[in-house]
Amino acid sequence: MRSSRMKKYRKKYKKLFIILQVVAIWYAMVLSVSLVTTNTAAYFSDKNTATTEITTAPYWWDKSELKFIGKNTQNVKECALHEISVEIKNIGSDMTGETEYEVLYTDKGNPSNPHGQKVAEGKFGPLSENEIFELSHEAQEDGFYKFKAFQRDGFKDNYDKRVEIWSEKVHLNCNAAKKADEEVEEETDEAEELEEDKENKNDNKKDKKEKDENKKGKGSDDKVSTSESNEEKKDDEEVNQIDDEKAEEESVDEAKDSEAKKKEDESKNKDKNEETETEKEVNKGTGEKEKNTHPEVEEGEEDEKDNESKNN
C-alpha cells in the first residue's frame, strides 16, 4: 500500500521536484558569483580577541651598515664661502632605500654637542655593498662642522629608534689661510729677489769676460799662430816617430828572415855531408868485398911487383 502511494505522489509531483532543483542550482550560482566579485570588509568588535601583526617587507632591516671613513680632524685652510666634504661607506649589504643626513655647525668646540646648530640636511643612497659616497656642504661661515647620518630603519633589529653616526670634525680655518697666503707671498718675493740678484751677477760676469777678451784679443793672435806652429811641429815629430818605428820593424823582420835562411842552408849542408859520408862507407864496403872474392889475382899481382923490383 505504501509503495503504491509513493509511486502515485512521484508521478504527480515529478515536475515540481525538477523545478525546485533548478531554482536551487540557480540560487547557488548567484551567491557564488556575488561572493567572488564583491569587495570584502573587515569588522571589529569590542570583545577581547587574540590578534597578530605582520610587518611588510619595506620595514625590514636590509643588513646595511654605514660608516664615516675619515679619522682625523680636517684643517681646511680656506675662508667662507667654501665647499667642505666627508666620505661615508656602506660596509654592510646593499641598501634597499635612501637614508637621511644632517650638517651641524659651531664657531667653537664640537658641533655634535647640544649647542651645535643644524645648518643643512638631506638624503642620499641607496648605496651598494662597499660603496663610498661623498657628502658635501657649502660652508657659509668659518668654524667647525660635522656631518650626522642615520642608519636604515631597523638597524640591527632596533625598530624603536634610529641609530646615528658622526663624521670627523671639519675646521674651516680662515686665519690659517691668510697666514699661508702671506707666507706664500713672502716666499715669492724672496724668490724674485734672488732671481734678480742672480741675473745682475751674471750680467756683471759677462761684462768682465767681454773686457778681458778685448784686452787679450791683441796678444791672442800671436799666441794662436805660435800654438799652431807648435802643433804642426808636434805632428811632424809624431810622423817621424811612426816612420822610425816602421823602419825598425822592417829591419827586425829582415834580420829574422836572414837568420832563417842561414839555418836552412846549414841544415842543407849537414844533409849533404851526411849523404857523402854514407856513400863513402858504402864504397869501402864494396871494395873489401871484391878483395875477399879475388885473392889469387891479388897474390899474382904482388909476385909480379916483387919480381920487377928485383930486376931493377
The predicted-structure confidence for 67-90, as pLDDT tens digits, reads as follows 999 988 999 999 999 999 999 999
The H or E element spanning position 214 is: helix 174-293
Give the residue from 93, 35, 37, 39 showing the smallest Cα distance to 64.
Answer: 93
pLDDT reported for residue 151? 96
Name the grid cell of 250.
822592417
pLDDT reported for residue 120? 97
pLDDT reported for residue 57? 45
pLDDT reported for residue 309? 62
Report for 13-17, 31-35, 186-190, 206-210: range of highest mean pLDDT: 31-35
Name the pLDDT band for 257 (thresholds 50, 70, 90): confident
| pLDDT at residue 310 greater than cutoff 60 | no
Q: Pick the residue with more confidence: 281 or 222?
A: 281
The predicted-structure confidence for 264-277, as pLDDT tens digits, reads as follows 777 777 777 777 77
Give the contacts of 115 (CB within 8 A, at least 6 positions apart).
106, 109
Is residue 131 within 8 Å of 164, Cβ to Cβ? Answer: no
pLDDT reported for residue 242? 79
| pLDDT at residue 5 greater than cutoff 80 | no
- The one-character DSSP state at 47 is S
Name the pLDDT band for 208 (thresholds 50, 70, 90): confident
Is residue 59 within 8 Å of 153, Cβ to Cβ? Answer: yes
Is residue 127 within 8 Å of 64, Cβ to Cβ? Answer: yes
Tell me the percentage of the chain whose pLDDT exceeds 70.
72
Q: Rounded CA gap, 110 and 118, in Å?
A: 13
For residue 126, say if its preceding peptide bond is cis, omega within 30 degrees of 0: yes
Give the residue from 64, 109, 99, 71 showing the smallest Cα distance to 87.
Answer: 71
Q: Rounded CA gap, 184 and 149, in Å?
A: 38
Q: Pick the residue with more confidence: 39 or 163?
A: 163
Write out the DSSP string of 80-132: SSEEEEEEEEE-SS--SS-EEEEEEEESSS-TTSTT-EEEEEEEE----TT-E
Is residue 176 within 8 Å of 134, Cβ to Cβ? Answer: no
pLDDT reported for residue 51? 56
Instruction: Give the relative orientation of helices 174-293 and 295-311 as an angle to the nearest 10 degrees.
Output: 60
In whole numbers, what is the pLDDT of the chain averaged over residues? 79
pLDDT reported for residue 100? 97
> Rounded to two decimals, what is the model's pTM?
0.44
pLDDT reported for residue 302? 60
Beta bridge partners of 229: none
The predicted-structure confidence for 231-247, as pLDDT tens digits, reads as follows 777 777 777 777 777 77
Give the residue from 98, 90, 156 showing the smallest Cα distance to 129.
Answer: 90
| pLDDT at residue 122 greater than cutoff 90 | yes
pLDDT reported for residue 125? 93
pLDDT reported for residue 129? 96
pLDDT reported for residue 297? 45
The predicted-structure confidence for 161-177, as pLDDT tens digits, reads as follows 999 999 999 999 999 88
The H or E element spanning position 176 is: helix 174-293
Domains and CATH numbers, the chain: 60-172 (2.60.40)
